[in-house]
Amino acid sequence: MSKFYRVPVVIKEDVSIAFENGNIKVSGPKGALTFKIPIGVNVKIMDGYLQTMPKEKNEDKNPLLGLTRAIIANMITGVSTGFEKKLELSGVGFKASLSGKDIILSVGFSHPVKVLAEEGITYSVADNIIITVSGIDKALVGNVAAKIRAIKPPEPYKGKGIRYKGEIIRRKAGKAAKAIGTK
């Protein structure tokens, strides 16, 4: 079992943390996030650090300890600097454009696909082919980016579709040419 929960989380100067009846609220310059602390997990603030620990002595193998620590660390990073995922369109005629807060994708279908903006998420489009999804909640940013990628995932033969920036697509060889003179 991992003991990663013992590593303290550094609280940045512009971030404030408050505990309210079983919830932790993290506020910063970009916004505020809340998280319900699971049963069996104790969270304490000590000298600019945040520490997660089990409530009882024998509960050292609780898998929620590391999860809680990671979620709180991501909340602190999110409200101070934010998260972003970049998606790249590859294919002839594939393009993206902003319409207010929403994105309109032309990705080879007979109609354009409109992706509605969720609360807490902002989109930006560069060069009509690079979409940036940004926000303060890491899980929400990742889920929205995955939903956009699922509209037209990259196919393995020509590599056309929507992929994460820097993602490597394993290409397959096309149909082999028919051998001449064999039966």
Domains in the chain: ranges and CATH: 4-80 (3.90.930.12), 83-164 (3.90.930.12)
| pLDDT confidence of residue 100 | 92
Residue 158 has pLDDT above 80, yes or no: yes
| pLDDT tens per residue across span 59-112 | 666 788 889 999 999 999 999 999 999 999 999 999 999 999 999 999 999 999
What confidence tier does 179 reach under pLDDT thresholds 50, 70, 90? low
Average pLDDT of span 154-162 = 92
Q: Is 79 helix (H, G, I), strand (E, B) or coil?
A: helix
Average pLDDT, the chain: 90
pTM confidence score: 0.86
DSSP string of 123-179, one letter each residue: EEEETTTEEEEEES-HHHHHHHHHHHHHHSPPPTTT--EEEETTPPPPPPP-PPPPP
Residue 2 has pLDDT above 80, yes or no: no
What confidence tier does 54 reach under pLDDT thresholds 50, 70, 90? confident
Cα–Cα distance, 16 to 29 (Å, whole number): 10
Cα–Cα distance, 115 to 127 (Å, whole number): 18
